[in-house]
Amino acid sequence: MGSLSYSHFVIFPFLSQGHTIPLLYLSRLLRRRSVVVTLFTTAGNSPSIRASLQDIDVSIIELPLPHNIDGVSTGVENTDKLSVGSSFLPFARATEHMKESFEEALETLQPPVSCVVSDSFLWWTLKSAQKIGVPRLGFFGMGNFSATMYQILGRFRPHAGVDSVDEPFPMTHFPEVKLTRNDFDPPFGDFNSSGPFVDFIIDCGIALATSKGLIVNSFHELESRYVDYWNKNLGPKAWNIGPLCLAAEISKSENASYLQWVDEKREKKEPVLYVSFGTQAEISPEQFLEIAQGLERSGVSFLWALKYKDLNFLPEFESRIKGRGLVAEEWVDQLKILQHEGVKGFLSHCGWNSVIESISAGVPILAMPFMAEQHNARFVAEEVGVGLRIMPRNGSVRGFVAAAEVEMKVRELMGGGKVAEEVRKRVAECGGAAHAAMKEGGSSWRTLDLLLHNLVPKK
């Protein structure tokens, strides 16, 4: 199809690393189609975004965010720096104070804006887009499976007759998918969920429902049943144009000490398990200790990206695992690690970015969710079979995980048994499909083409 150099996309990520990164990849995709891109953020988030996009022509506009938000430390402009989970809601609500300056900037941009792509948590941007007469596309930081399950729960209430939070029930229209109330992040598994956070999600949902579409960081072949169901029964239209991480540039972090360590392990033919739980997971010191003990007892080589320096067990742990395990307290280039030939498994909290990056790299996943990632863990282990699930000792999908369970599942995934072979075969297939989807003529490539030509006004 022809050039779209006349198109101008505004991209506005939510102020969170996990929500921002895929939209930076989207910026690259759009620039490769000759689309003009302007990205909005705040002064505090701008330096890392500028560094990430320094090699491409993207305009970055900084908007002021209030520095006196109730319940939020002064000067915080990213959820990664929120001290407690209860700070999220006042922080997210405070983004609406950027609305006036956002709209002033939209009016002055040249060439005129064709489309606004904004995170679903920035619900108020819909009215800003409507004000200048352009379509708004929402962005979800989750996959189609998870989004669909939440919608079905809210619309059809399949959990209505279930007493226990751990009693399985079949999902409406997908009876073979059996979930529990604990699979849904509180308070959404409740029978009559209410409160300020629910009100916030409702506001975001209403804005999304009246937007022109939804960009999803996934690809049709991976979640076809749920993409098709969403587009036929729910909406707005889900445009699956990922994995967006495959639009990333190859980073230049070859000299990092942790990469040299993994290189050495590869040369010795010692497969490495990469361990990371992201930046937002709330994990107790006691749970960290159990994970450490399980990794130590497994006998497997591992690289653990761990930013918690105040864990008192770490010094003795690091001395005992020296040579076989490495705790990296520096920033770890996750994409580069997952693409490393020596990395043969990923112990993850199953944030969607991590899941889709691991699948794209063909690396099987050990799923150990802590917060809102329960559906992703189910998807990994039960829906597509690209990993194994680590389960809490209480029999629920939520709860304390014992060291013995970590040890057993690490050995099972990293060993050469039948289960591990099946998982590796499956993730290799999905990884190949991911790359094919993003290539010219692939499903995601075609979907992006359709989005650009059908949604953007011709000038």
Distance in angstroms (rounded) separating the CA atoms of residues 458 and 270: 56
**Tens of pLDDT along 306-322?**
977 778 899 999 999 99
**Per-residue b or e along 287-325, where b marks 16 or more CB atoms closer than 10 Å to that residue's CB:** bbbbbbbbbbebebbbbbbbeeeeeeebeebeeebeebb
| 338 and 268 co-located in one domain | yes
Looking at the structure of the chain, the number of domains it has is: 2
pLDDT value, residue 21:
95
Confidence of residue 193 (pLDDT cuts 50, 70, 90): confident
Contact status, residue 242 vs residue 451, Cβ threshold 8 Å: no
| 70 and 187 co-located in one domain | yes
| 208 and 274 co-located in one domain | no
Query: Does pLDDT of 237 surpass 70?
Result: yes
Distance in angstroms (rounded) separating the CA atoms of residues 389 and 374: 10
**Tens of pLDDT along 20-35?**
999 999 999 999 999 9
Query: Does pLDDT of 459 surpass 60?
Result: no
Q: Report if residue 2 sits inside a domain.
A: no
| 353 and 451 co-located in one domain | no
**Tens of pLDDT along 56-67?**
999 999 999 988
Confidence of residue 3 (pLDDT cuts 50, 70, 90): very low
Mean local confidence (pLDDT), 162-179: 94
Contact status, residue 53 vs residue 31, Cβ threshold 8 Å: no
Model's pTM, two decimal places? 0.94
Sort strands 272-276 and 301-305 into parallel, antiparallel or unpaired. Answer: parallel
| 444 and 324 co-located in one domain | no
Contact status, residue 327 vs residue 304, Cβ threshold 8 Å: yes
Q: Which structural domain range is residue 275 located in?
A: 257-435
Distance in angstroms (rounded) separating the CA atoms of residues 100 and 409: 51
Residues comprising the chain, all counted: 459
**Tens of pLDDT along 88-115?**
999 999 999 999 999 999 999 999 999 9
Residue 329: other Cβ atoms inside 10 A: 12
| 336 and 282 co-located in one domain | yes
Contact status, residue 153 vs residue 159, Cβ threshold 8 Å: yes
pLDDT value, residue 169:
96
**Tens of pLDDT along 337-355?**
999 999 999 999 999 999 9
Q: Report if residue 284 sits inside a domain.
A: yes
**Tens of pLDDT along 117-169?**
999 999 999 999 999 999 999 998 899 999 999 999 999 999 998 989 999 99
| 63 and 140 co-located in one domain | yes
Q: Report if residue 352 sits inside a domain.
A: yes
Q: Report if residue 411 sits inside a domain.
A: yes
Distance in angstroms (rounded) separating the CA atoms of residues 364 and 358: 7
| 328 and 424 co-located in one domain | yes
Q: Report if residue 425 sits inside a domain.
A: yes
Query: Does pLDDT of 74 surpass 90?
Result: no
| 79 and 114 co-located in one domain | yes
Instruction: Quote the strand ranges of 18-86, DSSP E.
Output: 36-41, 59-62
Q: Report if residue 1 sits inside a domain.
A: no
| 431 and 444 co-located in one domain | no
| 278 and 221 co-located in one domain | no
| 111 and 222 co-located in one domain | yes
CATH number for 413: 3.40.50.2000
